[in-house]
Amino acid sequence: MIRIESEPWAQMVAHARETYPNECCGAMLGSTDGEQKAVRAAIRLRNVFEGAQATRYELRPEDLLAADKAARERSMDLIGIYHSHPDCDAYFSKTDLQNSCPWYSFVVLSIQKGEFHHANSWLPNFDQSEAVKEELIY
Amino acid sequence: MAKVLIPTPLRQFTGKQDSVTVPGGTVGEVLSALTAQYPDLRKQIFTDEGKVRSFVNVYLNDEDIRYLGKDATQTKDGDTLSLVPSIAGGSTVAAPPGPVGTQAALSKEEILRYSRHLIIPEVGIEGQQKLKAAKVLLVGTGGLGAPLGLYLAAAGVGKIGLVDFDTVDFTNLQRQVIHFTSDVGRRKIESASEKMKAINPFVEIVPHEVALSSENALDILKDYDIVVDGTDNFPTRYLVNDACVLLGKPNVYGSIFRFEGQATVFAYEGGPCYRCLYPEPPPPGLVPSCAEGGVLGILPGTIGLIQATETVKLILGIGQPLVGRLLLYDALGMKFRELKLRKNPECPVCGEHPTVTKLIDYHQFCGVPQATAAPPVQETKVNEGEIDVVELKQKIDRGDNFVLIDVREPHEYKICSIPGAKLIPLGEFPKHVGEFDPAADIVIHCRSGMRSAKACAVLRQNGFQHVRNVVGGILAWSDKVDPSVPKY
């Protein structure tokens, strides 16, 4: 289960709406207690995908490293990655899966016609062949 | 010995520790020692075959080991290793970059043509299709652009854009081998396209007969995968760099001067850009262009082909790209050296907090006036403090009492000179100021009038009253006074 506090959640939704019609991406910081994850802060990261960003995003490892550092400095952990799907459901696409990592929760926000519609959190496996839905509370 | 930072989700395997210090003299040894100590980590980092998982990047301090020595990168006490996943995605299942679609299928004729590529395992059909699907923009079809255009066309790069608005002249022929003697006077872009098409009719050549500018650069560059910089001036170099960074396109860079050249790949996958190396342009006039300083004709061949090689490697995704390394070539010593280039986190365009987020006025930035076509000599205006070559000739013929100084270099003087001129190269000029009478009538010339203008300024600062610069230099003399004087 992953619970996103209201402040980071509002920031994530705002980020996704501002970036519409392109995809946004960012990091979620917080703490983990067994299967229970709590997101207490969100950090916007740059979508560095070369090409049409309406349907793709890419994170720079350096940016992720910086997010991880920021988390440590604030006594939090990097626990997840979020990105948006403009005018598209919050499913975990094949592209998402093939470029994922089993270490984190992946929250997908569906933005339809510029407004937040729904969201899901996903946990991909090692082989990047499958992702299971994780309970998401916001 | 190195400290390994453990990502949160993996701390369950390291007894909740967020960092672990393990022995090892190289990155590979450290990772082996780490997974030996915490066997449950092994599956997280390595595949069953023992390779680092595709989504794991290893950073030594702040640098990706792929750009250092990979597994063999040396570690020392106090170093920090980080494991960083590579993450991307998107709502649709888009084709991976480097598309190999049906349009890139090779015909029977192409298979025959590219057979020596196809039988290299690293290239093969798939690689040749990548070349065919690739779109490369060559900025400039001069010294560097000539070998680039010829070889990239021959190699089968599917779409090659050319940017140039110049025409071929006789001084180009010594090195710009894509242009022939019969092409003098023709538009370079037309001459270059013709040769490339003749070498390989299967490639598409897209002419952009414009001066690349802040207004049109993004629009032109956006349709290409890779940009190759074959320009010879600072404003365009900064323009190409910034546009590449803003668009996220690799910039394959080369530059040449006399017997030396440089090459590297900028703005590629988190690597440095031209501004990381040179945040500011040199003062105008400090670094001479080929037209001013000369260049060994063969040199752009060597450097241009290094650029062509890097371009093809990027397209194929093979080998170690020349990223984060500046290759220096010295033709006289016949030596290659390499300088390490680092991405500057404070770089104004590709740094963490960029201040240049759109294209700027690069002529102003570099402190040079907008390049305009050289006005025909006949229309040159003579301002105060200047003298026209025809008037100079009359002065000489009248036997006026005046001093004529030539501030070019001795090797230029040997090519041609104006009768009666005293040779004092500009560099030595200040030392000789005391030899002249401040009241004397002094006329100074060089090749085109630039250097002599500086010499005139030096004399005026020293209180000389009657100093005049020969407009258009000895080139104008050849045009208007004595056509037997060769131009160079």
Q: B55–A99: do the CB atoms touch at under 8 Å?
A: yes
**Best residue of B84, B222, B268 to probe chain A, by most A CBs closer than 10 Å:** B84
How far is residue B416's CA from residue B161's CA, in Å, rounded to a whole number? 40
B456 in active site: no
| Catalytic pick among B244, B273, B276, B446 | B446
Identify the pLDDT of residue B269. 79
- Please provide the size of chain A in residues: 138
ipTM score above 0.85: no
For range A26-35, the mean pLDDT: 90
Tally of CB atoms within 10 A around A121: 26
What are the structure tokens assigned to B51, written together? 């390779």
* pLDDT tens column, A116-133: 989 999 999 888 888 888
| Beta-strand relationship, B251-257 and B226-229 | parallel
* pLDDT tens column, B62-99: 788 878 888 888 998 889 988 888 888 877 543 333 43
Judge whether B377 and B479 are in contact, CB under 8 Å.
yes
Out of A50, A60, A103, name the one closest to residue B9 (CB). A103
Strand ranges, E, within B151-298: 159-163, 204-208, 226-229, 251-257, 260-266
What are the structure tokens assigned to A138, written together? 């916001």
Judge whether B179 and B143 are in contact, CB under 8 Å.
no
Domains in chain A, CATH or no CATH each:
2-137 (3.40.140.10)
Place of tokens 């190195």: B2
Min Cα separation A117/chain B (Å)? 15
How far is residue A78's CA from residue A66's CA, in Å, rounded to a whole number? 10
Q: At what angle do helices B299-316 and B145-155 cross, to 10 degrees?
A: 40
Which chain B residues touch A if contact means CB-CB below 8 Å? 5, 7-10, 18, 43-44, 53-57, 59, 62, 64, 82, 84-94, 97, 247-249, 270
Domains in chain B, CATH or no CATH each:
2-85 (3.10.20.30), 134-366 (3.40.50.720), 377-480 (3.40.250.10)
* pLDDT tens column, A73-113: 898 999 999 999 988 888 888 788 888 888 999 999 999 88
Q: Using a CB–CB cutoff of 8 Å, tell me whether A29 touches chain B.
A: no
Q: What pTM, to 2 d.p., does this model score? A: 0.56
Average pLDDT of chain A is: 90
Tally of CB atoms within 10 A around B263: 26
Contacts A79 to B, Cβ<8 Å: 8-9
For range A12-29, the mean pLDDT: 94
How far is residue A104's CA from residue B424's CA, in Å, rounded to a whole number? 72
Segments in chain B below pLDDT 70? 92-103, 285-286, 369-380
Q: Which pLDDT band, with edges at 50, 70 and 90, does A35 fall under? A: confident
Q: B55–A49: do the CB atoms touch at under 8 Å?
A: no
